Amino acid sequence: MNRLLFAGLLVLIPLAAAAHSQLGTTIPANGAVLKEPPTQIVLTFAKRIRLTRVQVARDQDRPVDLDLGDQKAFATRFAVPVADKGRGSFRVEWRGLASDGHAMRGAFTFRVE
Ligand SMILES: [Cu+2]
């Protein structure tokens, strides 16, 4: 590959990634240690996305789909109710669609003591 073209590609790759809606903040925050189980999972994105799936797994349990309710449209903030599952280590996995049509996914964890 032409050396100049290769250098150009290296510059383009981070730009393409930056065009995606990055996950801004979550509640609970990634790595949070809580005294009470959360009543909802809040996901905030830098740009609007369409959230398609959120799953929560406790410890080694099978992941459970959360009901997104009417939150089916593009938005920057989603608040998804979650049932009290008691204490343990939780992993939240989400999937969505960026406004440019690209699939997005991510995960974070928190603990309830
Ligand atoms: Cu994209």
Burial class (CB in 10 A: 0-12, 13-18, 19+), 48: middle
- Per-residue pLDDT reduced to its tens digit, 56-98: 999 999 999 999 999 999 999 999 999 998 999 999 999 999 9
Mind listing the pLDDT tens digit for each residue in 28-40? Answer: 999 999 999 999 9
| pLDDT tier for residue 4 given thresholds of 50, 70 and 90 | low
Say if 12 falls within a structural domain: no
Cα–ligand 1 centroid distance for 80 (angstroms): 24
Residue 102: inside a domain? yes
> Does residue 33 sit within a domain?
yes
Q: Distance between CA 109 and CA 56 in Å, rounded?
A: 9
* pLDDT of amino acid 15: 47
Instruction: Provide the CATH number for the domain around residue 103.
Output: 2.60.40.1220
How far, in Å, is the centroid of ligand 1 from the Cα of 19?
6
Give the total number of structural domains in the chain: 1
Cα–Cα dist 4/10, whole Å: 10
Give the CA dihedral 86, 91, 92, 97, nearest 10 degrees: -170
Ligand 1 centroid, distance to 38 Cα (angstroms): 31
Whether 13 is covered by a domain: the verdict is no
